[in-house]
Structures are given as structure tokens and as C-alpha cells.
């Protein structure tokens, strides 16, 4: 997937195209409905597909006090879009100056002049783009008639509740990664480098891979989770690429920790040296909340139980 940052820099091979735009935080199933139609339109028309998005999130610039914590920031969002098969992503640097662009100028300069879009696929709730938050689906249809592009509108989707990034954030804050995964259509993912921690896990017989503080992806509520550790530097199909793990998120209150960390114990593996590796941690289900234990022996008993419950959730057996 190609990535660029200004409409005029659109690669020749990607114009004309079928396009869409939005923040796409989390690239959840609601987004997928739009992106799946984007890909289908591209195939039917024999044209490449392009997603237009923004960095930073517009709310971070316009109303920083209300800016959401991002489910899949920047590079992680782009990665998820690429995994779906989108051909290109135009990531527009969102600044206060850019926010003064009128809705009409945004559409014409981006999709007509920049991308040469013949079709624009959007959600039915598309609104509030452009200066004064005036842009909506009706404006897109009007501009489409004037400039010769079709507008395809996708209705909201969801099981009882509309699938949205806000719903995913709420569920992650509650620790319900399973329900969040239902909306995402995949396990919630945190990506970053493995760094040195306190090394207590190794001393206790459960060596853990600690994620760096600048990892990408929201940390869910404190607790122990069943999940998968993905070694991103290894090729697909490698036996050690995707490994079952018991994952702890929290401050380690038994040892009076104060900083929230995500650390993963790969089941039954004490031979791994992951320091400096880029890994992804996929969180499947919460096992229990974080607890303060009165002794190390009590902690070890709980960890043993956590491992067995993780096996059950992930469907893996002991060696």
C-alpha cells in the first residue's frame, strides 16, 4: 500500500480511483462496511482504491480538551487499512490552517483535482467536514453532479448498537476486550517494542515481554488477559510468529508499582529473547482484574491459574 500526504502528490498509478475519507480509528466493522464497498467498487470499475484520512485526529487540533485516546493511532491505522487491501492512503496533516478549508474546496481539491476520483464511498453519517462543519452527504451529491463523480452511501451497521469507535473505547475502558473485538472484527491490537522491565517475571518463573511506553494502541482496563503475541519481524507461517500469551495490564500493585505497563508471558516458553523486537499483542478475553496479593506465593498461585484459563480461552494445550 502506498502512502502520501498531499493530494497533488498522488501517484499516477492511483488516479483515477475510487475513494473514501474519514478518521477510521480502529478500522472497525462499521468502517469495514464502507471499505468493503470501496474495494468492491474498485474491482467492478477496474480502478485502484484510496482512503483519505487525517493526522493528527481533527478533534486533537480543534478541541484538544475533548480529543479521544486513539484505538489505532497513525501507523497502526494505516497498517490495518493496508491489510484490508486498500491500494493507497492519503494522510493529510491536519492543522488549524487546514481546518479553515471550506467543505467544497476540500472535496474539489482532494477528490476531483488530486485523486481524480470517479466514485466516492461514504457512510450515511458523513457530516461536519470543512470550515464551520458544513459538509454533509447532500453536498457530496451536489458536487458529484457538478464534477462527474458518483456518490455511494452506506447505511450505519451494528448489532443493536451502532458500531463505532466510541463504543470500542468504552468497552476497552471497561476491560471487555471480547466485546470490543466483536465490533472491531478482530482482537484489539497494541504494537510496540519489547523493552527491559523489572525482570520480576523471570525471577518468578514467568518471563514477560514488556511493551514500551510509546506503543501504539489503547491499553484496556487493568487486568489479566488471554491473548496472542505476534513477532512482527518473523515471516507469516513461522512457528514462532504468533504465540499464545497471558497478558498483564496494570501497575503491579503487589510490588507497589506506579506506572501502567503491558507485559506478556508466552505460555511455556522461557527460551525467548525478545528485547528490541517489534511485537503486536492481540487481546482476546479478560481473565480477571488486577489484584494486590499478600505474598509472592499467593501471586504465583494466581499466575498458574491465569495460565490455565488462558489455555482454555485460546484453545491451546500444555506441551
240 part of a folded domain: yes
- Quick one: what percent of the chain has pLDDT higher than 70? 97
Domain span including residue 117: 2-154
Average of pLDDT values for 194-220? 88
148/27 same-domain check: yes
pTM higher than the cut 0.75: yes
29/78 same-domain check: yes
114/252 same-domain check: no
- Across the chain, what does the average pLDDT equal? 94
Instruction: Write down which residue in 131, 154, 177 finishes a domain.
Output: 154
**Position 156 confidence tier, pLDDT thresholds 50, 70, 90:** confident
175 part of a folded domain: no
109/202 same-domain check: no
Residues classed as catalytic = 263
Number of domains in the chain: 2
Is it the case that residue 319 has pLDDT exceeding 90? no
List pLDDT tens digits, range 290-315: 988 888 888 889 999 999 999 999 99
List pLDDT tens digits, range 73-104: 999 999 999 999 999 999 999 999 999 999 99
The DSSP bridge partners found for residue 210 are 195, 263
pLDDT reported for residue 89: 98
Least confident stretch, 34-48, 114-128, 149-163, 271-285: 149-163
Quote the CA–CA distance of 211 and 208 in Å, as a whole number: 10
Amino acid at each position: 500500500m502506498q502512502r502520501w500526504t498531499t493530494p497533488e502528490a498522488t501517484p499516477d498509478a492511483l488516479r483515477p480511483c475510487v475513494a473514501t475519507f474519514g478518521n477510521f480509528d480502529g478500522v472497525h466493522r462499521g468502517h469495514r462496511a464502507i471499505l468493503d464497498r470501496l474495494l468492491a467498487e474498485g474491482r467492478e470499475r477496474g480502478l485502484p482504491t484510496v482512503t483519505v484520512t487525517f493526522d493528527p485526529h481533527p478533534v486533537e487540533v480543534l478541541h484538544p480538551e475533548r480529543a479521544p485516546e486513539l484505538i489505532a493511532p497513525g501507523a497502526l491505522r494505516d497498517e490495518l487499512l493496508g491489510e484490508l487491501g486498500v491500494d493507497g492512503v492519503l494522510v493529510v496533516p491536519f492543522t488549524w490552517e487546514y481546518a479553515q478549508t471550506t467543505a467544497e474546496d476540500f472535496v474539489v481539491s482532494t477528490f476531483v483535482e488530486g485523486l481524480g476520483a470517479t466514485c466516492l464511498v461514504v457512510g450515511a453519517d458523513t457530516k461536519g467536514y470543512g470550515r464551520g462543519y458544513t459538509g454533509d452527504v447532500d453536498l457530496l451529491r451536489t458536487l458529484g453532479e457538478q464534477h462527474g463523480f458518483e456518490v455511494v452511501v452506506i447505511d450505519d451497521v451494528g448489532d443493536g448498537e451502532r458500531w463505532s469507535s466510541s463504543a470500542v473505547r468504552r468497552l476497552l475502558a471497561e476491560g471487555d476486550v471480547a466485546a470490543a473485538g466483536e465490533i472491531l472484527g478482530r482482537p484489539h491490537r497494541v504494537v510496540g517494542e519489547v523493552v527491559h522491565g523489572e525482570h520480576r517475571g523471570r525471577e518468578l518463573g514467568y518471563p514477560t515481554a514488556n511493551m514500551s511506553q510509546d506503543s501504539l494502541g489503547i491499553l484496556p482496563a487493568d487486568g489479566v488477559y488471554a491473548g496472542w503475541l505476534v513477532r512482527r519481524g518473523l515471516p507469516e507461517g513461522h512457528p514462532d510468529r504468533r504465540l499464545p500469551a497471558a497478558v498483564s495490564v496494570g501497575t503491579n500493585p503487589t510490588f507497589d508499582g506506579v506506572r501502567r505497563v503491558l507485559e506478556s508471558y508466552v505460555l511455556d516458553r522461557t527460551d525467548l529473547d525478545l528485547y528490541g523486537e517489534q511485537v503486536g499483542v492481540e487481546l482476546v478475553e479478560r481473565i480477571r482484574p488486577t489484584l494486590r496479593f499478600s505474598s509472592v506465593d499467593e501471586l504465583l498461585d494466581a499466575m498458574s491459574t491465569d495460565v490455565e484459563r488462558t489455555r482454555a480461552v485460546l484453545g491451546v494445550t500444555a506441551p
